[in-house]
Amino acid sequence: MQPYQQLKRQIMLLATLAALLALVVSVVVGRSVTRPVARLADAARRIEAGDYAENLAVAGDDELSDLANAFNRMQGGIAEREQRIRHQAQHDTLTGLPNRVHALSLLEAALEHARSSDTRCAVLLLDLDRFKEINDTLGHAFGDSVLEEVGRRLRNAIDSDDRLARLGGDEFLVLIGDTDQASAQERAWSIIRALEAPLDLSERQAQVSIGASIGLTLYPLHATSADALLRRADIAMYEAKQAQRRVAVYQTGHDETHLRRIGLISDLRRARERDELRVFYQPKVDLRSGRVAHAEALLRWQHPALGTISPDEFIPLAEHCGLIHEITAFVLAAGLQQASAWREDGLEIGLAVNLSPMDLLDARLPDRVAGLLQAHRFPAQELILEITESTVMRDVQSALITMRALRALGVRLSIDDFGTGHSSLAQLRSLPVDEIKIDKSFVMRLDTNPEDTVIVRSAIEIGHNMGLVVIAEGVEQSGSLEILQRLHCDMVQGYFFSKPVPAEDFRRWHDDFQANASTRSEQIA
pLDDT tens for residues 190-225?
999 999 888 777 555 567 778 899 999 999 999 999
| 75 and 163 both lie in a single domain | no
| 57 and 6 both lie in a single domain | yes
Q: Is residue 437 part of a domain?
A: no
DSSP three-state, residue 84: helix
| 399 and 299 both lie in a single domain | yes
| 180 and 315 both lie in a single domain | no
Q: Is residue 214 part of a domain?
A: yes
Domain count, the chain: 3
**Maximum Cα interatomic distance, the chain, rounded to a whole number of Å:** 162
Q: Which of 47, 66, 90 is the last residue of a domain?
A: 90
| 111 and 248 both lie in a single domain | yes
Average pLDDT over the chain reads 85
- Cα 144 to Cα 174, 296, 355, 374, 476, distances in angstroms: 20, 39, 28, 36, 50
| 222 and 318 both lie in a single domain | no
**Which DSSP helix (H) or strand (E) runs through 279?**
strand 277-286
- Cα 286 to Cα 42, 246, 283, 440, 489, distances in angstroms: 94, 41, 10, 17, 9
Sign of CA dihedral 188, 190, 193, 194: negative
Q: Are 107 and 123 in contact (CB under 8 A)?
A: yes
| 72 and 120 both lie in a single domain | no
Q: Give the rounded percent of residues in the chain with a pLDDT score beyond 90.
A: 56
Kindly report, residue by residue over 365-414, the tens digit of the pLDDT: 999 999 999 999 999 999 999 998 777 776 777 788 899 999 999 999 99
Q: Which of 31, 55, 90 is the last residue of a domain?
A: 90
Can you give the pTM of this predicted structure? 0.69
Left, alpha or beta for 412 (phi > 0: left; psi -120 to 50: alpha)? beta
Which of 407, 460, 411 lies closest to 436 in space, CA to CA?
Answer: 460
| 208 and 131 both lie in a single domain | yes
Predicted confidence at residue 28, as pLDDT, reads 47
Predicted confidence at residue 62, as pLDDT, reads 55
Kindly report, residue by residue over 270-293, the tens digit of the pLDDT: 998 899 999 999 999 999 999 999
| 198 and 280 both lie in a single domain | no
Domain boundaries, position 355: 268-429+491-513
CATH number, domain at 213?
Answer: 3.30.70.270
Q: Is residue 357 part of a domain?
A: yes
Predicted confidence at residue 423, as pLDDT, reads 58
| 109 and 80 both lie in a single domain | no
Confidence of residue 299 (pLDDT cuts 50, 70, 90): very high
Confidence of residue 430 (pLDDT cuts 50, 70, 90): confident
Kindly report, residue by residue over 235-270, the tens digit of the pLDDT: 999 889 887 889 999 988 778 788 888 899 999 999
| 10 and 58 both lie in a single domain | yes
CATH number, domain at 504?
Answer: 3.20.20.450
Confidence of residue 425 (pLDDT cuts 50, 70, 90): low
Q: Which of 192, 222, 252 is the last residue of a domain?
A: 252
Q: Does 51 score more than 90 pLDDT? A: no
What single-letter DSSP state applies at residue 363?
T
- Cα 74 to Cα 42, 47, 84, 381, distances in angstroms: 15, 10, 15, 75
Kindly report, residue by residue over 131-149, the tens digit of the pLDDT: 877 777 677 888 888 999 9
Kindly report, residue by residue over 437-487, the tens digit of the pLDDT: 999 999 998 988 899 999 999 999 999 999 999 999 999 999 999 999 999
What single-letter DSSP state applies at residue 202?
G
Q: Are 501 and 291 in contact (CB under 8 A)?
A: no
| 234 and 273 both lie in a single domain | no
